[in-house]
Amino acid sequence: MEKKVKNFGYSVTRDRQIDFDANNHDVGKIVALAEPTLHLCISCGTCSATCTASQFTEFSLRQVILLVRRGETKGLLKEVSKCMLCGKCQLVCPRNVSTRNLIIQISRALCNHEVSGSAMLKP
Amino acid sequence: MQKHIVVIGAGPAGLESSANLSNLGFRVTLVEKEEVTGGHLNKWHALFPSLASGKHTIEAIVKGLNPGIKIQTATKVTGIEAVNDYFTVSGHNGWQEKADAVVLTTGFQLFDSHRKEEYGYGIYENVITSADLEKQFASGKEFVNRQGKKPERVGFVHCVGSRDEKVNNLHCSKVCCITAVKQAIEVKQMIPEADVFCFYMDLRMFGRHYEELYKQAQEKYNIQFIRGRLSESTEDKDGNIIVKVEDTLLGKPLRIKVGLLVLMAGMEFPPATKALTNMLGLKNVSDGFIQPLDEVLHSNLTEIPGVFIAGTCSGPKSVSDTMADARSAALAVAEYLK
Amino acid sequence: MKLEGKRLIWQEYQKEIADDHYFYARSCIRQTFFPGAEAVFVKIMKDELGKDIHDEQHHTSCTGIGYHADVVPFDTTMTVIARQFALMTEAGYENYAASCVTSFGLYTEVLETWHHFPEKEAQVREFLYKATGREFNKPKNLAHASDIVYKFRHQIAAKAKYKLIDKNTGEPLKVVEHIGCHYSKMFPHKGIGGAEYPYVLSGMIEAWGGEVIDYPERRHCCGFGFRQYIVQANRGFSLSCSKKKFDSMEPYQPDMIITNCPGCPMFLDRWQYALSEMEGKTYGKNNNGIPVFTYEEVAGMIMGYDPWKIGLQLHQVSAEPLLDKIGIPYDPLSKFKGKNGEDLGIPETPNYLKFYAD
Ligand code: SF4
Ligand code: SF4
Ligand code: SF4
């Protein structure tokens, strides 16, 4: 049965903090196991400056890495699918992050999570 | 008998160590591969954060040298050998000395910016290095780019050849952040109407008055700091440089045209010195610089008794840190020869 | 720009290219894109330079597009490539010449993988043997066909009838070179001139009389990028990548673009049409576009081969203004005639991009 709600002309404002405790850290853990260079990123932005996808869409590898590390994985799979796996980012990263494999591992983990609720599954 | 010390490298560290050792009563020979003493400082127009003149600083240090110090210039040290309780140090030109202790003050070499091919140094005329800029400042000539025009915009790129594993340098060169701020201010002083930008990953303002200089750059000179590392630069039809970075704080790739792009080249351990340290059997660490016996307790000692280190051969340092290190090395030598 | 600076870099990135006896593997898409290009290469190699070149009929796709689009696993790719090597071995050749840049990049990747992981090579040998009963030797020399043309660029220039020069002014033509990403961006030391300032096409342009243009978006991808083009929803990126390049090169008023990859000439050519229809924008003078060629076509042009015999009528951006500029004769009436002289009909005329039908 639907609950009756009253309209007061204003509403409860939802929290926009990154809720670190409630977030999904599963994906980050699995990705780090498969590609440990996830942890080496220093957010310098060289990858996203050189990335062809970033020139035309909101996609930024630097941001994707941060989102995974913070557990902000909602809607991320759609974001990651914009990457064309060209590998240009790998040429420029000053920390030798294995970017191309990282993206593959992130989408894998996110896919598994979407399908089964856990990033643990093997493809 | 008066003990004899050979100091190798007559930059600020070598000069200051020699002065102190001589004052402590030792016989000192200072060897230098160049014709003149002073090292990199000779080519450095002004020092941060006070903008003191590089040339005057060197002159002041040299003034402090006792006349008793033997200065052997134009001599490249090619051999150091430990024989019983002394060392034989020899040069390429047949010069040779016996020493009771050796101080290595061999310094750094500037990263060769050609190696970052995508930055265009050596290819695009208006891509220069921080060292080239100092030369231009020192020349006292009007400040123009390679087309003879006053640049409307000047960009500074931090961390060139530092913090970059693609060129095998993980380390931070420590002084280039503050040097960029200093040079940006100097450019603004010369061309007040120019817009000046620094492209950085982290601003490392660790020294006294550095943060103040940074604030001055913002407050007085309106220098803009964009947090993003250069991915590549190219040239347009008029010889301007097109810079591509991500403005990471806004999360968008950014393209900007500058009339002059300055690469803040970092410090590296010179391969020529590496040959010497190999000869001595000194272990360098992963960043290439000489590893002291203990980074906290014995920063001027090496694992070989009688061989001491001071200045940037044991890692990037500012000139003032180098001077302090040189003085402390002199005390460490005195302690050893007591 | 300081040319000496580039020359210093070029010196660092040189590679060995075999002198003769090539096993030629064609591209799986070039013959439909620009059908004359590979034929011109074989003709120049055989007839003009007197080289021995084996034009293999039984090889397959290298799987490159599928591999880069993430639908073909690497083990499969390696085994397919091992089969190509087996064909080379069986034909009695040691020098592998790939027509396609992506294949060349992939062959390099496979050979490097085997170099660092010999157990992979052993495994692939086993796979291939089980599946086909074939065995193979690795190529002694692996080159992209543009490497070979680069190697013989001066000999070609010596035999050429024309130069990349404006016949009226005597000025060199302004040429944009575009290198396929997989040529040297993955393995800079395997490409002439490296990844940042590749020399393979610049060298040809210089040798054939033209002037190379370096423009800000030179390094940017043509837009093909497999995933960008193959998924229709992404196709706008592909177009936009090409547009970025055209906008950047336009101020230099280039006479032509020359490329060494199957995809680049296709996209740089066809997208000029799409952009003209979408936005009414053309990049050349008088509503012409900037003609785009493969290096083989350019070699054929300066050799004086009939432009329609080498397939220039299949370009969306018409080649005629350029042919006129160089002074290469052509018969406007036979542009759309088939091999046997039969009339193939005239394609639809674009709304903006200038079209030469007769
Ligand atoms: S691999 Fe993906 S993230 Fe990296 S540059 Fe290419 S498109 Fe961008
Ligand atoms: S280039 Fe490397 S270190 Fe920099 S943001 Fe990208 S992944 Fe992180
Ligand atoms: S001091 Fe600054 S510019 Fe120099 S290497 Fe360190 S972070 Fe980079």
Residue A49 contacts C where some CB pair is shorter than 8 Å: no
- Using pLDDT thresholds of 50, 70 and 90, give the confidence band for residue B69: very high
Q: What range does the domain containing C30 cover?
A: 22-145
Q: What range does the domain containing A97 cover?
A: 38-116
State the total domains in chain A: 1
Residue B71 pLDDT > 70: yes
Contact B173, B318 (CB under 8 A): no
Q: How far apart are CA C298 and CA C307, in angstroms?
A: 10
Contact B127, B121 (CB under 8 A): yes
Facing residue for A50 by CB, picked from B227, B231, B248: B231
Do C326 and C212 share a structural domain? yes
Closest listed residue to residue B238, CA positions, set B93, B126, B153, B97: B126
- Structural element, H or E, at residue C97: strand C95-98
- Give the pLDDT mean for B269-278: 92
For residue A97, being part of any structural domain is answered with yes
User: Beta partners for B27?
Assistant: B4
Tens of pLDDT, residue by residue over C289-322, are 999 999 999 999 999 999 999 999 999 999 999 9
CB contact under 8 A, C237 and A56: yes
CA-proximal residue: ligand 2, atom 4 (nearest): A44
User: What is the pLDDT, as a whole number, of residue C221?
Assistant: 86
> Separation of C239 CA from ligand 2 center, angstroms?
27
For residue A12, being part of any structural domain is answered with no
Is ligand 3 within 6 A of the CB of residue B174? yes
CB contact under 8 A, C219 and B242: no
What does the CA dihedral C183, C188, C192, C196 come to, rounded to 10 degrees?
90
Mean pLDDT over each residue of chain A, to the nearest integer: 89
CATH class label, B113-266: alpha beta
Return the residue matching tokens 């002199």. B330
Is ligand 3 within 6 A of the CB of residue B317? no
Length of chain A: 123
For residue C87, being part of any structural domain is answered with yes
For residue A3, being part of any structural domain is answered with no
Do C318 and C232 share a structural domain? yes
Tens of pLDDT, residue by residue over C128-180, are 999 999 999 999 999 999 999 999 999 999 999 999 999 999 999 999 999 99
Q: Tally C-beta pairs within 8 A across B and C.
A: 41
- Report which of residues B299 and C186 the model is more confident about: B299
What is the complex's ipTM, to 2 decimals? 0.85
Do C167 and C89 share a structural domain? no
Residue C245 contacts B where some CB pair is shorter than 8 Å: no
For residue A121, being part of any structural domain is answered with no
User: What is the pLDDT, as a whole number, of residue A123?
Assistant: 42
Facing residue for C228 by CB, picked from A84, A87, A88: A84
What number of other Cβ atoms are within 10 A of residue C261's Cβ?
Answer: 27
Q: What percent of chain B has pLDDT over 70?
A: 100
Do C215 and C322 share a structural domain? yes
Return the residue matching tokens 């002041």. B60
Which of ligand 1's atoms lies nearest the C-alpha of A61? 3
State the total domains in chain C: 2
For residue C342, being part of any structural domain is answered with no
User: What is the pLDDT, as a whole number, of residue C358?
Assistant: 63
Tens of pLDDT, residue by residue over C339-352, are 888 888 889 999 99
For residue C299, being part of any structural domain is answered with yes
- Report which of residues B323 and A120 the model is more confident about: B323
CB contact under 8 A, C1 and B236: no
Q: Hey, CA dihedral for B292, B295, B300, B306, is it positive or negative? A: negative
Do C161 and C118 share a structural domain? no
Residue of A35, A56, A84, A93 to mutate, ligand 1, most atoms within 8 A of C-beta? A84
Distances in whole angstroms, Cα of residue C46 to Cα of each of B179, B262, C41, C50, C204 = 61, 51, 9, 5, 19
Residue C202 pLDDT > 90: yes
Residue A63 pLDDT > 90: yes
For residue C348, being part of any structural domain is answered with no
Do C212 and C187 share a structural domain? yes
For residue C357, being part of any structural domain is answered with no
Do C185 and C82 share a structural domain? no
User: What is the pLDDT, as a whole number, of residue C230?
Assistant: 74
On whether the B4-108+269-337 domain is CATH 1.20.210.10, my answer is no
Do C88 and C185 share a structural domain? no
Q: Which residue does chain C place closest to B116, by CA atoms?
A: C196
Is ligand 1 within 6 A of the CB of residue A82? no
What number of other Cβ atoms are within 10 A of residue C62's Cβ?
Answer: 26
Q: How far apart are CA B99 and CA B82, in angstroms?
A: 9
Do C291 and C159 share a structural domain? yes
Give all chains having 3 or more CB-to-CB distances under 8 Å with chain A: B, C
Do C327 and C203 share a structural domain? yes
Do C115 and C169 share a structural domain? no
Contact B266, B173 (CB under 8 A): yes
Query: What is the domain-level CATH number for residue C268?
Result: 3.40.50.11810
Q: What percent of chain B has pLDDT over 90?
A: 88
- Report which of residues C179 and C70 the model is more confident about: C179
- Give the pLDDT mean for B128-146: 91
> Separation of C211 CA from ligand 3 center, angstroms?
40
Facing residue for C227 by CB, picked from A57, A84, A104: A84
Tens of pLDDT, residue by residue over B24-59, are 999 999 999 999 999 999 989 999 888 899 989 999
Last residue of a domain, one of C96, C129, C145: C145
Do C75 and C56 share a structural domain? yes
What number of other Cβ atoms are within 10 A of residue C14's Cβ?
Answer: 12
Last residue of a domain, one of C145, C169, C202: C145
Shortest Cα–Cα distance, C240 to chain A (Å) = 8
User: What is the pLDDT, as a whole number, of residue A120?
Assistant: 62
Tens of pLDDT, residue by residue over B99-119, are 999 999 999 999 999 999 999
Chain B residues with CB inside 8 Å of A60's CB?
A: 246, 251
Peptide bond into B49 cis (omega under 30): yes
Tens of pLDDT, residue by residue over A21-47, are 999 999 999 999 999 999 999 999 999
Is ligand 1 within 6 A of the CB of residue A52? yes
Tens of pLDDT, residue by residue over B173-206, are 999 999 999 999 999 999 999 999 999 999 999 9
Every domain range in chain B assigned CATH 3.50.50.60: 4-108+269-337, 113-266
